[in-house]
Amino acid sequence: MKLYYLPGACPLATHIVLEWIGKPYELHKMAREQLKNPDFLALNPIGSVPVLVDGDFVLTQSSAILEYLADLNPEADLLPQNVQQRADVRRWLAFCNADLHRNFALIFGVQGYVQNPDGQQQLIDAITARLLTLFNVVNTQLEGKRWVAGTRSLVDPYLYTLLRWARAKDIDLSAMENLQSFYARIEADSGVQAALKEEGLSV
């Protein structure tokens, strides 16, 4: 099993899950310009990571990859078997993917949407305000909980990755105490530390 990734990008969530599962895997670090190479586009025509290759099976999109790994490794208990609990994990996974991640994508790629620097800053400010609202929803969800969905799941490494992005973009979440506690707790996890070290992200 091989994971194609950019350091610190969304494949970090998959990388952490691979560590939690504890089975052999290979990492293939990509440079951004390599994403447009024909060999990589043959794996993912839109030229983005993550890409997971498992034998002859090629899978893209973070949420699909995360669920695939959880289904292959039910003993890791990262996607509950109970229907309602499973649906709840999927809800928060979708929240991370479709709400938080989507808004960060606009910040990271703002030059592709607005050419004027003042307009770019206005868009970034508006998106930052939206992200603060979204993160506050998760902060409320974490009240009295160690993990977003109540038990450790696929959601947690995805949220951790997004929180790293918030710090990188100076989005101030310091008033959201539950998120701050979650961040410190998950970053201390041995699997998270192993993934960070492999990607060259350790402090």
Per-residue pLDDT tens for 28-40?
Answer: 999 999 999 999 9
pLDDT, tens digit, 9 for 90 and up, residues 70-121: 999 999 999 999 999 999 999 999 999 999 999 999 999 999 899 999 999 9
Fold for the domain defined by 83-189: Glutathione S-transferase Yfyf (Class Pi); Chain A, domain 2 (1.20.1050)
What whole-number percentage of the chain has pLDDT above 90? 98
HSE (side-chain half, CA atoms, 13 Å) at 133: 8
Rg (CA), the chain: 17
User: Phi then psi for 60, rounded to 5 degrees?
Assistant: -120, 175
Integer Cα distance of 12 and 19 in angstroms: 11
pTM: 0.96
Q: How many CB atoms lie within 10 A of CB 139?
A: 19
CATH of the structural domain 2-76+193-198, one choice from 3.30.1700.10, 3.40.30.10, 3.40.1000.10, 3.40.1360.10: 3.40.30.10
Query: What are the residue boundaries of the structural domains of the chain, listed by start?
Result: 2-76+193-198, 83-189
What are phi and psi for residue 53, nearest 5 degrees? -115, 120
Which alpha helices (DSSP H) does the chain contain, by range? 11-21, 38-43, 62-72, 83-94, 102-108, 117-141, 155-168, 177-187, 190-198
Eight-state DSSP code of residue 60: E
Distances in whole angstroms, Cα of residue 82 to Cα of each of 67, 71, 104:
15, 13, 32
Phi, psi of 189 (to 5 degrees): -65, 140
Q: Residue 44 in contact with residue 68, Cβ under 8 Å? A: no
Per residue in 15-70, pLDDT (tens digit) is: 999 999 999 999 999 999 999 999 999 999 999 999 999 999 999 999 999 999 99
